[in-house]
Amino acid sequence: MTDNLPTLITDGSLIPRQADTDAQVLALWLHGRSKHTIRAYESDAKGFMSCSGKSLHATTLGDIQSY
């Protein structure tokens, strides 16, 4: 469910949305990293998302701090 709208940054500038799904966000985050880093970070991210029950787009700082 993407609205394809840019994200507003606190200084008033806009950046284009770069990913439509959590999988795409993870792929962008992990791109170019070693296979060991990918395996570890992907496992952590999936564990977090499973625990929070939220998409990355809906995740808040409080969710991350609670995890």
The token pair that represents 51 in the structure block? 């625990």
Domain count along the chain: 1
> What pLDDT, in 10s, does the model give residues 49-61?
999 999 888 899 9
Distance CA 55, CA 48 (A): 10
Residue 21 and residue 37 in contact, taking contact as beta carbons nearer than 8 Å:
no
Overall pTM > 0.75: no
In a domain, 30, yes or no: yes
In a domain, 3, yes or no: no
In a domain, 4, yes or no: no
Residue 60: domain span = 21-66
With residues binned 3-state (H G I as helix, E B as strand, rest as coil), the percentages for the chain, rounded to 5, are 50, 5, 45
In a domain, 62, yes or no: yes
Phi first, then psi, for residue 8 (nearest 5°) are -85, 130
Share of the chain above pLDDT 90, in %: 63
Q: Cα–Cα distances in Å, from 17 out to 6, 50, 67? A: 5, 24, 26
